[in-house]
Copies of this chain bind each other. A is one copy, B any other.
Amino acid sequence: MTAQKNDKKNDRSSRTTGKPTLNDVARSAGVSPITASRALRGVSTVAEGLAEKVRQAAADLGYVANPAARALASKQSHNIVVLVPSLANQLFIETLEAIHAVMHPRGLEVLIGNYHYSRDEEENLLRNYLAYQPRGLLLTGFDRTESARRMIEASGVPAVYMMDLDPGAGLHCVGFSQIRAGEAAARHLLKSGRKRLAYIGAQLDQRTLLRGEGYRRALQQAGCYDPALEVLTPRPSSVGLGGELFRQLLASHPQVEGIFFGNDDLAHGALLEAMRHGIRIPEQVAVLGFNDLPSSEFMVPRLSSIRTPRKAIGTHAAERLLDLINDKPVNAPVMDLGFELMVRESS
C-alpha cells in the first residue's frame, strides 16, 4: 500500500487548485466577486443582508482566501517577519510567543527567521523575507550589516527593534538598557564588599558585550577593575560551558570573590560545578546570572539573577509595530521596560 494519495497533486490537467475561490463564493451568494471580497474583508459598506449571505456561502464552501493571490493583488501580505539570533535560547521563545499572541488574533501570520547570531545570515533572511512584502518587521538589537540596514530603510516596511535601547537614533525600540543591566549586576556584587569580581560571557553577541561593558564601567568606577577577570568566548552559551569556564577561572584566579555570568545557563553550569567540587556558593564565590530563566530559582543554591522582561518586550514591540502599521501617532520611539534584580541565595 502506498502511503500517500497524490491525486490532486499530480492532476496537471487544469491550472486551478481545485479549492473554492472567491468566484465560487460570489456565485453561490448571488453577488459579484468584488462584493464578496468586500464582505469577507469587512471593508467598505456592504449591505448587511448581502454580507451575511456571502459569509454563509464562504462557510458552506469552506472557503479560505488564497494568500498568494491576495498578496499579489494588494501588494500587502498578512505577514509579520520576526528575526531572532537563536531559538536555542529560551528567552527568545518567550518573546516570540508574546508576539504571536498579539498578531495572530489580528489575522497576521508571524514568520520566524533564526539567523544563528550571524550578521550575514540575517542579511540573507531579510532579503528573502522582504520579497514576501511583510506588513512589519520585528528585529533583534542593532548589530547588523550596512547592507541589511539599507534594505530595511529602502523597503519602507515599518520596523521595531527589540531587546536593547538605542536612544537618539530615532528607531523604534522596545527593551531595556543592556549597559545599565550590566552596571546593576556589578553594583549588586560590590555591595557585599567583594572586590575581586569577574565577568564570564559567551556567544559575544552585542548584548553580551554591552552587559560586559556596563559591568566594567561600574568596576572601574569602584576602582577594582581587573581585565584578567573578564572571560569572553565566542562559543555558544551552555550549561556545560559555564561549568568549564568557572573551573578554569577558579584554577587561574583562586582569589575571585564574585562572578557575573552573561547568561543563566552559564551560571547554572557554574553552580553545578561548584557543587561537584565542594566550592561553597556564595561564601567562597558569589554567583549572579542574567535573564532569570524559569529554572534558576530552583537551582542549589537558588540563583540570583537579573530578570529581563522578554515577554513584555514581545507584547509591546508587537503593539508598537501595529501602531506604526496603522499610522497611529506614537509618543516616543524608545520604550524602556527595565529589568529586575532578583537576589536569592547565590549572591
Stretch in A40-48, A127-135, A190-198, A227-235 with 4+ CB within 8 Å of B = A127-135
Q: Are B239 and A294 in contact (CB under 8 A)?
A: yes
- With most chain B CB atoms within 10 A of its CB, the pick from A100, A239, A294 is A239
Instruction: Name 20 extra pairs, CB < 8 A, besides A239-B294, A240-B298.
Output: A3-B172, A4-B158, A4-B159, A5-B153, A5-B156, A6-B156, A8-B156, A9-B157, A9-B158, A15-B75, A67-B68, A68-B68, A68-B72, A90-B90, A100-B114, A111-B111, A238-B294, A268-B295, A273-B298, A275-B275
Q: Are A16 and B68 in contact (CB under 8 A)?
A: no
Taken residue by residue from 11 to 22, chain A's Cβ proximity to chain B (1 for < 8 Å, 0 otherwise) reads as: 000011101000
A94 to chain B, nearest CB (A): 8
Q: Does A93 contact B (CB under 8 A)?
A: yes
Q: Does A1 contact B (CB under 8 A)?
A: yes
The answer to whether A16 and B75 touch (CB under 8 A), given A64-B127, A111-B111, A333-B3, is yes
The answer to whether A298 and B324 touch (CB under 8 A), given A96-B87, A159-B4, is no
Q: Which of the residues B5, B8, B67 comes within 8 Å of A132, measured between beta carbons?
A: B67
Q: Are B158 and A6 in contact (CB under 8 A)?
A: yes
For the complex, give the distance between the alpha carbons of A68 and B185 in Å.
48
- Considering the complex, give the chain B residue whose CB is closest to the CB of A265: B295
A79 to chain B, nearest CB (A): 10
Q: Does A109 contact B (CB under 8 A)?
A: yes
Collect the chain B residues with CB atoms within 8 Å of residue A8's CB.
155-156
Q: Does A71 contact B (CB under 8 A)?
A: yes
**Identical chains in the assembly:** 2
The 28 listed contacts between A and B (C-beta, < 8 Å) are A3-B171, A3-B172, A4-B158, A6-B156, A8-B155, A8-B156, A9-B156, A64-B128, A64-B131, A67-B68, A67-B131, A68-B69, A68-B72, A68-B132, A88-B93, A90-B90, A93-B93, A97-B114, A112-B112, A238-B294, A240-B294, A240-B295, A240-B297, A243-B298, A272-B298, A272-B299, A272-B300, A276-B300
For the complex, give the distance between the alpha carbons of A299 and B4 in Å.
44
For the complex, give the distance between the alpha carbons of A295 and B68 in Å.
43
The 6 A-B pairs at the shortest CB distance, nearest first, are namely A8-B156, A239-B295, A68-B71, A3-B333, A64-B131, A68-B72
- Considering the complex, give the chain B residue whose CB is closest to the CB of A332: B3
Q: Which of the residues B6, B16, B87, B299 comes within 8 Å of A87, measured between beta carbons?
A: B87
Q: Does A330 contact B (CB under 8 A)?
A: yes
A side interface size, CB within 8 A: 70
Taken residue by residue from 38 to 77, chain A's Cβ proximity to chain B (1 for < 8 Å, 0 otherwise) reads as: 0000000000000000000000000011111101100101
Q: Does A269 contact B (CB under 8 A)?
A: yes
Q: Does A170 contact B (CB under 8 A)?
A: yes
